[in-house]
Amino acid sequence: MRLLTRLNLAFGLLLLFLLIVTAWLMSTLLLDILIDSQRKEMREQGRAVMLQYMGTGSSHSSGTNRTVDLVTQIVSPNAHMAFLYSNNNAISLPVSNEEYTEIIQNARELALGEGNVWKGQQNTYLIETIQANDYSDKLVVAAPMDRLKSIQFSFIQRMVLIFGLGALFALLLSIFITRRLVTPLSTLRDELHKVQNRRFSEVQMVKAGGEIGEVAASVHKLAAELDGYHRTQKEFFQNASHELKTPLMNIQGYAEGIRDGVFKEEQAKHGLNVIAEECERLKKIVTEIMLLAKLDIEDGIFAHTEVAIHQVVARTIEKLDPLIIQNRIAVEYREDDTSLDAIIYADPDKLIQALLNVIANAIRHARSSVVIRSFCKDGSIVIEVTDDGEGIPEDIVPKLFYRFVKGHDGENGLGLAIARAIVERCSGSITAENRPEGGALFRLSFPLQNK
């Protein structure tokens, strides 16, 4: 059964249950109110009769007809039936309605009984007994329950009609609301099926509000990330084969040339140097690929401890001195006062490796200078690396940290991917963008460690 059907069915059953309970309670309450009102009216009329009766000063035997007339004037025969009970005799009203016959026949039982309700063969009656002051005479007033139940039934009919219309409106409103809620979920389910089938590029943004909208946005973002990783995986094998194929072809060409005697003396020596350089290049590529694989799947390679940012940056710059001198680039490190004692929780050696890759990349692409800044902001320590080079091509900015993605004069496209993996394993983040005045800006952010 579909979710929409289940929700509407559950709401309909709950609404039906509530309406039945409410109708039963209200009808019961109404009947109690009608009975109380009826008894009050019966007592008032009975007391009026007794006051008039006791005020006549007549004996019971000679005043029978007068008493009957008195009761007739005060008590309406259409609503109630009343009779006087005196000296074991019932002085009855001359009613023509046969339904009161059983009342007269059971006058003694009603007059001497203590019940408030009497159930006869034809009907059920409310009974009120009004005692005279000398306790010798009683006025018994009886009212059939049919009239009250008729009022109750009429009320129930109207109430069922009103409740039915209200329930219909509520059910239609429920269907509309649940449809608004469930339709985005159904659409989101279809989009998740696309993710399940690896059709990441086909996933569309589901328009919805509230928590469902947030989940839809997360799914769309996840699909975009997975699509990027899926494409990167394909590009990885293509680029890896290309990066490995080029040095292998150089090695093969010079090795065959030396073996066949094509290269001799100086040419052979040059060929051996090329082979050694290409082997070193292959070694570096394989080492970085293995490092990336370890960063992705292994936890034991990180040894986290408290790290002072200014010390890590200073050590990184020292290691880059040969490259700085070779490229004749001025490197300046500016520390904000708030970052002098900044401590983060990370692996210092891996963090230096990440900074080496980022700063070395800036040095290779800078024209004359590289500026490194560190400062604290919103509970984090931020390291910014800027250069005055040509900047990053806009088409590769979104995928700059993917494997084998490299810009102009890049090496093998693995350095920034390694930097990103290390930074994220240290609970940080890294981004790259172009500066309006020219050059690139790399920003690394790490949460501060409480002292």
State the CATH number of the domain containing residue 438.
Answer: 3.30.565.10
- 437 belongs to a structural domain: yes
- 190 belongs to a structural domain: no
Question: In one letter, which amino acid is 48?
Answer: A
Phi/psi at 400 (5° precision):
-60, -30
Strand order, beta sheet including 330-335: 330-335, 369-377, 380-387, 440-447, 429-434
Percent of the chain's residues with pLDDT above 70: 80
Q: With contact defined as beta carbons under 8 Å apart, do 116 and 43 qualify? A: no
Structural tokens at position 65: 């007809």
Find the mean pLDDT for residues 3-11.
73
Together in a domain, 414 and 291: no
Tell me the C-alpha distance between 329 and 307, whole Å. 28
Together in a domain, 261 and 376: no
Together in a domain, 138 and 247: no
Tell me the C-alpha distance between 363 and 358, whole Å. 9
Span 94-135, pLDDT tens digits? 444 555 666 666 766 666 666 678 777 777 888 887 776 655
Together in a domain, 317 and 242: no
Indicate the residue among 244, 267, 297 that finishes a domain. Answer: 297
Categorize the per-residue pLDDT at 66 as very low, low, confident or very high, splitting at 50, 70 and 90: very low
Res 269: pLDDT: 87
Percent of the chain's residues with pLDDT above 90: 18
Residue 430 has pLDDT above 70, yes or no: yes
Res 410: pLDDT: 61
DSSP single-letter state for residue 450: P
Residue 385 has pLDDT above 90, yes or no: yes
Res 355: pLDDT: 94
Structural tokens at position 274: 């090329």
Indicate the residue among 297, 330, 350 that finishes a domain. Answer: 297
Res 77: pLDDT: 47
**Strand 330-335 vs strand 369-377: parallel, antiparallel, or unpaired?**
parallel
Together in a domain, 309 and 443: yes
Tell me the C-alpha distance between 379 and 384, whole Å. 16
Tell me the C-alpha distance between 169 and 172, whole Å. 5
Taking Cα atoms as reference points, which of 409, 392, 388, 385 lies closest to residue 320? Answer: 385
**Side-chain-facing half-sphere of 84: CA atoms under 13 Å:** 26
Together in a domain, 235 and 374: no
Res 72: pLDDT: 45
Asked which of 56-65, 99-108, 338-347 is least confident by mean pLDDT, the reply is 56-65
Together in a domain, 372 and 263: no
Tell me the C-alpha distance between 410 and 417, whole Å. 13
Indicate the residue among 277, 297, 317 that finishes a domain. Answer: 297
Mutual angle of helices 210-259 and 266-297, in 10-degree steps: 160
Residue 423 has pLDDT above 60, yes or no: yes
**Residue 376 sits in which domain range?**
305-447
Residue 61 has pLDDT above 60, yes or no: no
Res 64: pLDDT: 46
Together in a domain, 224 and 321: no
Find the mean pLDDT for residues 272-281.
87
Categorize the per-residue pLDDT at 354 as very low, low, confident or very high, splitting at 50, 70 and 90: very high
Tell me the C-alpha distance between 418 and 392, whole Å. 18
- 158 belongs to a structural domain: no
- 321 belongs to a structural domain: yes
Asked which of 120-124, 164-168, 429-433 is least confident by mean pLDDT, the reply is 120-124
Find the mean pLDDT for residues 306-330.
92
Residue with the larger pLDDT of the pair 119 and 90: 119
Tallying the residues shown for the chain, one arrives at: 451
Residue with the larger pLDDT of the pair 444 and 244: 444
Residue 330 has pLDDT above 90, yes or no: yes
Residue 397 has pLDDT above 90, yes or no: no
Together in a domain, 391 and 439: yes
Total number of domains constituting the chain = 3
**Strand 117-119 vs strand 89-92: parallel, antiparallel, or unpaired?**
unpaired
DSSP single-letter state for residue 262: S
- 183 belongs to a structural domain: no
Categorize the per-residue pLDDT at 165 as very low, low, confident or very high, splitting at 50, 70 and 90: confident
Residue with the larger pLDDT of the pair 262 and 228: 262
CATH number at residue 86: 3.30.450.20
Res 444: pLDDT: 95
Tell me the C-alpha distance between 183 and 213, whole Å. 12
Res 17: pLDDT: 85
- 204 belongs to a structural domain: no
Categorize the per-residue pLDDT at 245 as very low, low, confident or very high, splitting at 50, 70 and 90: confident
- 111 belongs to a structural domain: yes
Residue 299 has pLDDT above 70, yes or no: no
Together in a domain, 104 and 133: yes
Q: What is the 3-state secondary structure (H, E, C) of 20-88?
A: HHHHHHHHHHHHHHHHHHHHHHHHHHHHHHHHHHHHCCCCCCCCHHHHHHHHHHHCCCCCCEEEEEECC
Together in a domain, 414 and 288: no
Residue 199 has pLDDT above 90, yes or no: no
CATH number at residue 274: 1.10.287.130
Res 88: pLDDT: 58
Q: What letters, b where the CB count within 10 A reaches 16 and e where it falls short, cover 144-171?
A: bbeebeeebeebbeebeeebeeebeebe
pTM, to two decimals:
0.49
Together in a domain, 219 and 336: no
- 197 belongs to a structural domain: no
Span 19-42, pLDDT tens digits? 888 888 888 888 888 888 888 888
Q: How confident is the prediction for the chain on average, in pLDDT?
A: 79
Categorize the per-residue pLDDT at 1 as very low, low, confident or very high, splitting at 50, 70 and 90: low
Res 98: pLDDT: 57
